[in-house]
Structure formats: structure tokens, C-alpha cells
Amino acid sequence: MDILILFGAFIIILLGAELFTNGIEWFGRRLELAEGAVGSVLAAVGTALPETMIPIIAILFASGAASHEVGLGAILGAPFMLATLAMFVTGVAVLWSARRRPSGAVMRVDTGVLAHDMRYFAIAYALAIGAAFLPLEPVWLKWIVAFVLLAIY
């Protein structure tokens, strides 16, 4: 019985993901956004919303130490789980692709785009790390950094 429930839940998740993806694509088209903006902003917000709501609900509406543990576990656990899953999927994709490709196949990389993206990321990441070391006072400095980081995002 548990296998049937697991299989049924998997089917529901796949159908929901398909509907969500199509909905985000059409919403982006309606707003006349580029595909990159749709994927990096709309889809990112939509997929991060469930894992964001768990700690918020646990911390605000539950009582006791368990609520803070659930919130902390969700906040810290989600990135580790996603990173682990992403590494596994990437590794499997690389192995599968390497076996299907003829030897000597070359992957073409647009170094201009890659250099631009990496430079942008390095600056934003350095600013975010630097924000962690800001002193408590003056508070206005934190607000400026917060707005800059939000604008960069």
C-alpha cells in the first residue's frame, strides 16, 4: 500500500510540475519577459516559495522549542538537500552524455557570456559576504547594502 501511495504522490508531483512550468512560461510570455528572466526570476520564486513558507509558519504559528528547530532545519536543510541532489543529477547526466557522445566531441562555450556572468556573480557574492561583517551601528549602512543586494538580485 505504501508503494502505491508513493507512486501516486510521484505522479501528482510530476503533473503539478508540468502545470507549474507551463503556467510560468505563459505568464512570462504575457508579461513579454525574456526566457532567462522567466527562468531565473519567476520560476525561482515559485519553486522557492514552499520551502520558504515552512520555517515562517513553524516559527510564527507553532509554539515551543520544536517550532524553532523545524524552522532552522528547513532553512539549513533545504540548500544541502538541493545541492546534494543537484550534484547527483549533474554527475549522472555527465556520465550518460559522455557514453552517448562520440569521442573527440567538443563543447562550445561562449566565453564572453561566461566571463560576464562570472564577474557579476563574483561582485555580488563578495558584497553579500562583506555584508555579514558589517558592524551593528550605523543601521543605515545595513539598509543601503540591503537595497543594493536586492537591486543586484
Q: Evaluate whether 134 touches 142 at the Cβ level (below 8 Å).
A: yes
* CA distances to 56, 94, 125 from 111, in Å: 41, 21, 20
Domain residue limits at 68: 10-99
pLDDT over 80 (residue 62): no
Q: What is the pLDDT of residues 81-115, one digit of tens each?
A: 878 888 899 999 988 888 887 776 777 888 888 88
User: Does residue 118 belong to any structural domain of this protein?
Assistant: yes
What is the tally of structural domains in the chain?
2
User: Does residue 31 belong to any structural domain of this protein?
Assistant: yes
User: Does residue 37 belong to any structural domain of this protein?
Assistant: yes
Rounded to whole angstroms, how far apart are CA atoms 131 and 66?
A: 30
Residues 30, 75, single domain; the answer is yes
Q: What is the pLDDT of residues 16-58, one digit of tens each?
A: 888 988 898 898 889 888 877 788 787 887 777 777 787 888 7
The closest of 38, 77, 42, 70 to 54, measured between CA atoms, is 70
